[in-house]
Amino acid sequence: MAVLASPAHVPPEPQSGQGYEHPPPPSQKAVTGPEPAARGPLPLAVVPSPAPLPVAVDALYFSAASALRRGLAGFVDLVLLVPLSATVGLLLCLALGLPVPRLAELSPDLLLAYLLDGGATSTLLIAVAAALTVGYFGGFHWLRGQTPGKRLLGIMVVNIHGERPSVVRSLLRTVAYLLSALPVSIGFLWVGFDRERRALHDWVAGTYVVRVP
């Protein structure tokens, strides 16, 4: 039996000077124009990483120092500071040849009048006392958070984070003693009425006086 091909699928007979058009193999494509540029990999979507969870930190708890402890600590500091200021001041007066009060003039009323008379000796003594006071309280609070009196009574000065105050905050607190002393030391007495037991100089400097944990 002969198999006849359909006329639609029979290629025409080649003529002289004419050939067949070969279709491209299945693995190739006919080039009809410039090849499209190779497409690179698709850009990846950037997904932000989640924020790290806050690490739990143990909170610091302090107990506010009582007015009695603060008062006793201040008394101890004055017992140490007043003789030191007087000794340094008198030694400077002697070295500079300035007149110094005699022993009979060392009663509290005469000594106060002598300091307030406006002379060179009184000015020097007041300047020495002021400098030593700022250095004593400001230095101890900055370096250790407590003066010798506060250490003896088990209290210390801290900032809002429970740390020792900085040098600027310590000096500001010491200078603010003047505000607490005027008038009639109401800034110091405020400790007994304040909910946080803070004096006026504590509010000015942003400090707290607490029991040593």
Q: Domain limits at 180?
A: 67-211
Number of domains in the chain: 1
Instruction: Give the pLDDT confidence score for residue 183 in this predicted structure.
Output: 81
Query: Is residue 20 in some structural domain?
Result: no
Q: What are phi and psi of 124, to 5 degrees?
A: -65, -45
Q: Please, which residues have CB within 8 angstroms of residue 200's CB and are 6 or more apart in sequence?
A: 176, 179, 180, 186, 187, 188, 190
- pTM beyond cutoff 0.85: no
CA 208 to chain centre: 15
Instruction: Give the pLDDT confidence score for residue 8 in this predicted structure.
Output: 46
Q: What is the pLDDT along the chain (213 residues), one digit of tens a residue?
A: 444 444 444 445 545 444 334 445 555 554 555 555 555 555 555 556 666 655 555 557 889 999 999 999 999 999 999 899 888 988 888 888 887 767 666 666 666 776 677 778 778 888 898 999 999 999 999 999 999 999 999 999 999 999 999 999 999 999 999 999 988 889 999 999 999 999 999 999 999 999 998
Query: Is residue 137 in some structural domain?
Result: yes
Instruction: Give the pLDDT confidence score for residue 105 in this predicted structure.
Output: 62
Query: Is residue 181 in some structural domain?
Result: yes
Query: Is residue 19 in some structural domain?
Result: no
Query: Is residue 26 in some structural domain?
Result: no
Query: Is residue 194 in some structural domain?
Result: yes
Query: Is residue 155 in some structural domain?
Result: yes
Query: Is residue 186 in some structural domain?
Result: yes
